[in-house]
Structure 1
Amino acid sequence: MSIRQFQAQRMQAPRDFIAIPNTPICVEIGAGKGKHALLFTGQNPQTVLYAIERTKEKFVAMQKQHQLDTREHLHPIHADALPWVVHALFPAQVEQFFILYPNPEPHNPAQRWLNMPFFEFLLSRLQPNGTITLASNIPEYISEAEQQLIDVWKLPYQKQKIAADSARTHFEIKYLERGELCQQLIITKPEAYTTRFDDFAPLQGQNAQEKRDV
């Protein structure tokens, strides 16, 4: 399966976009109601985590949880992940990406994370030796991602079975209670790995600013 080049420069800034500093961070894509984000920042209190959620209802729930249990370095973000990543993140800035139980896109395989041109851009934002954690309860999703890592992205990874008592997300709890097999791929970016976006600076809301200036 060949993958065309991602058109980063065409991405419009998310509404109410706010730029972030170029410091080491972690990013969770599709953070839902924020269960993993709160767990992670509780276990890693000095680590900055940006938790992105597109659905307003889930984002509001995450915000409420964050207000009840404040984490200094947790930043909930209400946005679509693709434009936010393009506008906000610097090359080799991210220590870890988390993509936990993404929509398997059963009717649109091209929208699965490792099938998208955007995945190359995501890799450009990852530090050397940084990791992407991709979790799913669908064996075929994991198998396809493995094949893409081997054939297309040429990346090393570890495949792990998720423990039955793991409780990182509401989906994970539900799937494990049903007795489903939950697995994750820990994908590592080698030191010498290169992408076509390694020198692509963040747009920092430029498109939105240009619209306002017109």
Structure 2
Amino acid sequence: VTLAELDQLVERTRDIGELENVYALTPMQKGMLFHSLMDAASGAYFEQTTFDLRGRFQADIFQDSLNHLAQRHEIFRANFISGWQDEPVQVIFRRKDVGFSYEDLRHLDDQERDAYVKEFIRQDKAAGFDLSRDALMRVAILRTGDEDYYFVWSSHHILMDGWCVALVTDEVFEAYFAAVEHREPKLALVTPYSQYIEWLEAQDVEAAASYWKD
């Protein structure tokens, strides 16, 4: 990316946030971006996990823990820009919060609450993601009782796969409990995703193709 091209990209994304990095997509990401743009309504790469939590819970601290995750892992501060120059790029912002919402449903009776949750899940999936602008992971917490909470955790597959969900939720809850207990979270060192992109671009494509053909 030249300085002139970078200036154009900065101008294009100015209303989203300040750029930290710009790099290429992996072949897998390119495929997902292509199919997402071809049929945005299909929901093919929309991932949604739901679960219940019971106990004392502080939603504001949990939101802070989600944003702590995004600051540690640049992929959660990414958007994907197509139709710019010859190749799509992933743009990393210095600050981009994870999508978050909280609703208290305790005023509804059981039947109304169940219907509301079901419709919320449907609408959340129907909304999908704008890969060029949205926070590509979002968490909604629906309070269903005094100590009962229902989580709707959604993300786009271009950020992470199903194997990552447990790792990500473990890290967020470790940060949450650390904040509640007034201690430092015990978290592993982070390897930036950009290092994988750099390694990938350094590979000999012809040699790799020959290996798999053999």
TM range, normalised to the smaller chain? under 0.3
Greater fraction of residues in helix: 2
Normalising by structure 1, we get a TM-score of: 0.23
